[in-house]
Structures are given as C-alpha cells and as structure tokens.
Amino acid sequence: MLHKTAETAAPIHELLANRWSPRAFTDRPVEPAKLLAVFEAARWAASSSNGQPWAFIVAQRSDKAAFDQMLQCLVPGNQSWAALAPVLILTFARLKWAGEERVNRTAQHDLGMATAMLSIQAEALGLRTHHMSGIDLDKIREVYAVPPDFDPVSAIALGYQGDAALLPEEKDRAREPNPRTRKPLDEFVFAGRFGAAAGLL
C-alpha cells in the first residue's frame, strides 16, 4: 500500500502525518460502527457559540440508487475516481444563525473543524478520506431539497485505500503516488505584523 507520511518540521501525531487523500479505494464496505464513529467525531467538533452549523448527507455504494444519485452531484473529474469509494458524503454549512437573519461568519470554518475531526477519526479506524470542492451546487440543492439557509460546501469520499491500478483514468493513476507538498511555516506563521515570520520558527 502506498504510504505518504509527511516530512514535518517538528514531530506531529502519526494520524496527522500519515493522513493523505487517495483517489483509489478498495470495494470493501465501511463497517456501520465505523461510519457512525466518523460522524460522532464530527459531532464533537468545536464551533462558534456551539452553533454546530453543519449537516451531512451520506450515501453508501451498497444502496446503488442513492450512491449513483450522489455521484452525479460531483464534477466529472471527481466522478471517475470517486465511483470506487464505498461511501460518499455531502457537507453543508448553515450560513445564518439558527432562527435568525444574522450571518454566522465562521459557519464554513466550523464545518471545516467537523470535517477535519471526521477525517482524523477515519484515519484512526484505518480508513481514508478525500475531500472535494468539485461538486454541482445547483444539482445538490435540487436533488436533496436543501433548505435555503444551508449551503452545499463539499463532498467527501470515504473508504479503505486501494491500489492506484484500480483507477480508471490514466491521469489519476499517474498522479496517485505524487509526493505531498506544503508551504514552509515561515510563509504563514507570523508575529508582530502580517508577513513577518514568527521567531519560534
């Protein structure tokens, strides 16, 4: 199995260092208890004023109609590989405070907290996730009767990592082993003023 452990500038937890976003998944279904656990992890994310402004719709490949319906809500470039995943998830953020007209400025941030928790819980259970912004927002609204105060934000493929050879598209097979890269810390951790690298680095 392909491993892509991060080369870190400081030691970090192995769940964080080992997480990566594969496109190839095996057809092994995700056990119901594990699927429940990843949503339970999301549930316990921190959020502004404990507003919990998130929602998820889940589809498993074992329910072909529901799975195909969700797959059609991804852009074609994501559909080709995400069709392998045993579970697809759509994520939503409620952009206004429940029952109010006031905008929740951190709604998408809070959803990101929840999806990060979901991803790390998945890693702890031997699963991997691949997040997608390439989704069809209008189709999602129409297909799932999304209430107007919720915005579709992303999709997540969830399952057991598979071999790159399983990928139907040559471009995806070719990029699967690409190394993971990141900006150096001094490009985004500042002190004193914006842009001035923090001394701790």
Ligand X SMILES: Cc1cc2nc3c(=O)[nH]c(=O)nc-3n(C[C@H](O)[C@H](O)[C@H](O)COP(=O)(O)O)c2cc1C
Task: Give the binding site for ligand X (CB under 6 A).
Answer: 20-21, 78, 131-134, 154, 180
Question: Residues of 159-172 as b/e, b for ≥16 C-beta within 10 angstroms?
Answer: bbbbebebbeeeeb
Chain residue whose CB lies nearest ligand X:
134
Q: How far is residue 12's CA from residue 49's CA, in Å, rounded to a whole number?
A: 29
Q: How near is the Cβ of 100 to ligand X at its closest, in Å?
A: 27
Vertex 142 angle, CA 76 and 48, to 5° = 90
Q: Which two tokens stand for residue 61?
A: 């490949």
Query: In this complex, which beta carbon is closest to ligand X, that of residue 50 or of residue 133?
Result: 133
Residues 165, 168: Cα–Cα separation, whole Å: 8
CA-CA-CA-CA torsion for 37, 120, 129, 88, nearest 10 degrees?
Answer: 30
